Amino acid sequence: MNRTAAHLADGREIFFYDDAPRDRQVRDRRDITRAVGASELRYDPFLDEWVAVAAARQHRTHLPSADQCPLCPSTKSRATEIPQEDYDVAVFENRFPSFSGGEALSPHMAGDALASCVEQEGDLVEIRHAGAGRCEVVCFTPDHTTSLAQLSARRIETVVEAWADRTQALLATGQVDQVYCFENRGEEIGVTLHHPHGQIYGYPFATPRTRTMLSQARRFRSATGLDLFAETLQAEQHAGEHPGSGRVVLRTDHWTAFIPSWARWPVEIHIYPHRAVRTLPDLNAEERRDFARLYLKVLGAGDALFATPLPYISGWHQAPLSAPETDFRLHLQLFSIRRADNKLKYLAGSESGMGVFINDIPPEEMAQRLRHAIKEKGHE
C-alpha cells in the first residue's frame, strides 16, 4: 500500500491509498472555505450519553446527479473533493462534520460527565463541550456506478489498509478515544451521495453501545473468568459444525461470519477474527487478505437475498483507548432494514421509543438463506 498525504483548498487533509506507487502532485484549484458553524457536544444526564449538535450539516450535498458527484475524480472541466484524475482509495476530512475538532474531552468528562452536572450547591447544570473529534470520508473507488461488493479482493485489502492507517492516526491525536469505520449503503438507509463511499468517525469518548459491551464483558469475566467475545465465537462455531445447521454464514482460516441468536435486524451479520485483537491496526497481513475474500462473499450473498441490492449499515467495532486490554475484541457488524422485496423494517414505537427490538425473521432462517446464496454464487 502506498500513501500520499496532501491538503484541499480549504486546509482539510486528504490521503490517497494506492495499490502501486504513483507520483502524485495534488493541487485543489477550487476557491472554497470551510463550512460555517462548529459542532457542539451536549450531555444527556438521564441516559449518560453525549449528543452532537452540528447545524452546518443541514446544508450538506444531498443526492446530486452523477455528473455533479463530489466524490468522483476531478476533471479539467470540473473540480471535486478529489483533486486527481484517478485514484484507488481516498480519505479526506468531511466538509460537513458531526465532530469538528477543538479541545479534547478531559478523561473525567469523558468517563463520568454526570458528576460534572452537579454544582457544589447541588443544582443540576447543563454540560456542553466543543465538538471534539474528527469525521472523514472514505472513497472506495473512482467508479461512480459500482459498489463495494463488486470490487476486487485486492481493492478491499486497500480499503482495509486505509481503515487501519486512519484508525492508528486518529487514536494518536489525543482527541479521539474510539474510531468507527462504517458504510451506509442505499437510499433506504439515508445516504446523501450515491458514490461508493464510507465514513470514519473519531469519537472523543467511548460510545454508549461500546460502554455497554465493555460492562457486560467485565461482568462475564468476573463471574466466569472467561472472555465473553471468545465464548460467543466458540459457541457459534460449535453450533455450525454440521453443514446446513447453526447460524454461521461463512468461516475461513481467520474469520467467522455469523448471525447472533439475538439479532435485532432482519439481516444482521457479525464477523469476528479468530485471534483476539482490539483494533484494525492489530490485524496482520494474512488476516487482512482473508477478511477481504470473506467480506466480498458476504456482501455478494446479501445482494442476492432480495430483488434489489441490499441496503445496509456496516461498521467496525474497535476498542476505545480507555478500555482495559482484555475487555474487547475487534469485530464487524453489518445490518439491513430490508425484510422482504418490497418491505422495510421501520423502527416504530417499541424500537424507537423504548429500545426493545422485534425481529420478523428468525436468525437461523436468515443464516440458511445467506449460506444458500453463497453456495449458489460459488457455482456461477
Burial 134-146 (b: 16+ CB within 10 A, else e): bbbbbbbbbeeee
| Helix spans in the chain (H) | 107-111, 113-116, 153-171, 208-224, 228-239, 285-303, 363-378
Number of CB atoms found within 10 A of residue 109's CB: 19
DSSP helix/strand/coil, 128: strand
C-alpha cell at 37: 458553524
Q: Which residues are catalytic?
A: 197
One-letter identity of residue 181? C
Distance CA 176, CA 257 (A): 29
Q: How far is Cα 93 from Cα 116, in angstroms, rounded to an integer?
A: 31
Helix, strand, or coil here: 332?
A: strand
3-state secondary structure of 51: strand
Residue with cell 420478523: 360
Task: Decide if 297 contacts 156 (C-beta within 8 A).
Answer: no
Return the beta strands (E) in 287-357 as ranges: 312-317, 331-336, 338-340, 343-344
